[in-house]
C-alpha cells in the first residue's frame, strides 16, 4: 500500500472536518454514507457524485438531485453547500468532490487548472430582505443608510457581498452593517430571526422564507446580475459522470426547476 502524500493527507483531514458535516443530507435528505469516502461506488454499484454548491443553491439543488437520480439510476448525488469562497478553498485543499457550482464567475475563474470548462446555468439578482410585513418600511437601497436600521450584509469575499458592495457603491451609498456574514443564507437567517432589520440577499433566497421575510425589489438600473457557473473538478474520479451532471443543468428539466425557484435563464 502506498503512503499518503502531504496533499492527500491534508485532503483527508479536510474531508473529515469540513465535507462530511456539510453533506450529511444527500439529494434524498438522508445521510449518504454508502460510498467509500472518495466519491466511489456505493451500495448496489451506484456511482456517488459529490457536488459542491453555493449556499443559494441549497433548495433547488436538493430538488435537482432527486430529478437527476431518477433520470440516471446508476448515480447518487450528494451535496455540500457553503459560500462560494469557502467551496473554492475546499477545492484548493484537495477535498474529494466531483462538481463545483458557484454564485459568480470570478470565483470559478480563480480555479483554472482545478476544473474543467465551466458552463453558466442560471442567473440571479439582489433584493432587500426585511422582516415579515416590512415593519421598518424599507423602500429602497437609500433606506439602508439609516443609522437606526440594523443592516446585515455578506462579507466582501463572498459573491453576494461583492454584488452588494457593487450596487451600493454605484449609488454612492455608505452602509454600516451590524455584521458581515460568510454566506447569503446566514444573512437571510439574521433577518428571519429578527437580529437585523434588513439585508441584501438573492431573490431566490428571500423566496425560500415567504412567511418570515418580505422582499423589497431593487430596480434593474440599480441592481446586479449574478451568474452561476458549474464545472467538473479535475480531481474527480468520475469525470464522465461529473461532466454529465454539469451538462444536465442546462437541460429543459433542470431549467424548469431553476425557473420555479426564481432563478433567471442563463
* 62 falls within a domain: yes
Instruction: State yes or no: pLDDT of 9 exceeds 80.
Output: no
Domain at 12, CATH number = 3.40.190.10
Evaluate if residue 43 carries a pLDDT over 60: no
Any domain includes 245: yes
Q: What's the pLDDT tens digit per position in 109-166?
A: 999 999 999 999 999 999 999 999 999 999 999 999 999 999 999 999 999 999 999 9
The percentage of residues in the chain with a pLDDT greater than 70, rounded to a whole number, is 83
- The reported pLDDT for the residue numbered 46 is 86
User: Cell numbers at residue 151, please?
Assistant: 443592516
Tell me what pLDDT residue 8 has: 40
* R_g (Cα) of the chain, nearest Å: 19
CB burial class (10 A; 0-12, 13-18, 19+) of residue 231? Answer: buried
Instruction: Check whether residue 248 and residue 216 sit in a common domain.
Output: no
| Contact criterion met (CB below 8 Å) for 90 and 18 | yes
Q: Are 27 and 69 in contact (CB under 8 A)?
A: yes
Q: How far is 123 from 116, CA to CA, in rounded Å?
A: 20
Q: The domain containing residue 144 runs over which residues?
A: 125-225
Interatomic CA distance for residues 247 and 237, integer angstroms:
17
Q: Which of 43-52, 126-135, 162-171, 180-189 is predicted least confidently?
A: 43-52
84-93 vs 6-14: helix axis angle to the nearest 10? 140
Express each pLDDT in 213-238 by its tens digit. Answer: 999 999 999 999 999 999 999 999 99
The answer to the question of residue 266 being in a domain is no
Q: Are residues 163 and 64 in the same domain?
A: no
Average pLDDT (70-83) is: 96
Q: How confident is the model at residue 45 (pLDDT cuts 50, 70, 90)?
A: low
Q: Are residues 10 and 118 in the same domain?
A: yes
What's the CA gap between 139 and 110, in Å, rounded? 36
- As a whole number, the mean pLDDT across the chain is 88
Is 14 found in the same domain as 111?
yes
Asked, for residue 1, whether it belongs to a domain, the answer is no
Whether 44 has a pLDDT exceeding 60, the answer reads no
Share of the chain above pLDDT 90, in %: 83
Mark whether 233 and 117 lie in a shared domain.
yes
Whether residues 56 and 96 share a domain: the answer is yes
User: 77 with 108, same domain?
Assistant: yes
The answer as to whether 244 is a domain residue is yes
Same domain as 252, residue 160:
no
- Local confidence band at 172 (pLDDT 50, 70, 90 cut-offs): very high
pLDDT of residue 41: 53
Question: Do residues 35 and 42 touch, judged by C-beta distance below 8 A?
Answer: yes
The pLDDT-based confidence of 27 (bands split at 50, 70, 90) is low
Amino acid at each position: 500500500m502506498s503512503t499518503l502524500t502531504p496533499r492527500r493527507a491534508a485532503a483527508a483531514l479536510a474531508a473529515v472536518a469540513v465535507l462530511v458535516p456539510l453533506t450529511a443530507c444527500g439529494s434524498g435528505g438522508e445521510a449518504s454514507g454508502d460510498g467509500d469516502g472518495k466519491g466511489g461506488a456505493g451500495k448496489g454499484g451506484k456511482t456517488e457524485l459529490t457536488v459542491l454548491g453555493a449556499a443559494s443553491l441549497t433548495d433547488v439543488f436538493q430538488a435537482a438531485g432527486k430529478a437527476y437520480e431518477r433520470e440516471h439510476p446508476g448515480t447518487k448525488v450528494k451535496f455540500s453547500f457553503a459560500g462560494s469562497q469557502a467551496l473554492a478553498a475546499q477545492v484548493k485543499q484537495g477535498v474529494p468532490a466531483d462538481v463545483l457550482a458557484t454564485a459568480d464567475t470570478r470565483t470559478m475563474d480563480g480555479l483554472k487548472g482545478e476544473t474543467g470548462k465551466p458552463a453558466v446555468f442560471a442567473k440571479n439578482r439582489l433584493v432587500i430582505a426585511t422582516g415579515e410585513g416590512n415593519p421598518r418600511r424599507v423602500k429602497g437601497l437609500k433606506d439602508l443608510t439609516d443609522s437606526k436600521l440594523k443592516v446585515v450584509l455578506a462579507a466582501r469575499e463572498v459573491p453576494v457581498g461583492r454584488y452588494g458592495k457593487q450596487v451600493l457603491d454605484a449609488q454612492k451609498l455608505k452602509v454600516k452593517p451590524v455584521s458581515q456574514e460568510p454566506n447569503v443564507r446566514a444573512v437571510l437567517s439574521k433577518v428571519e430571526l429578527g437580529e437585523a432589520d434588513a439585508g441584501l440577499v438573492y431573490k431566490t433566497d428571500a423566496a425560500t422564507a415567504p412567511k418570515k421575510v418580505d422582499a423589497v425589489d431593487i430596480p434593474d438600473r440599480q441592481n446586479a446580475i449574478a451568474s452561476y457557473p458549474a464545472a467538473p473538478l479535475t480531481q474527480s474520479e468520475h469525470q464522465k459522470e461529473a461532466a454529465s451532471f454539469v451538462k444536465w443543468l442546462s437541460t429543459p428539466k433542470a431549467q424548469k426547476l431553476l425557473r420555479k425557484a426564481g432563478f433567471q435563464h442563463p
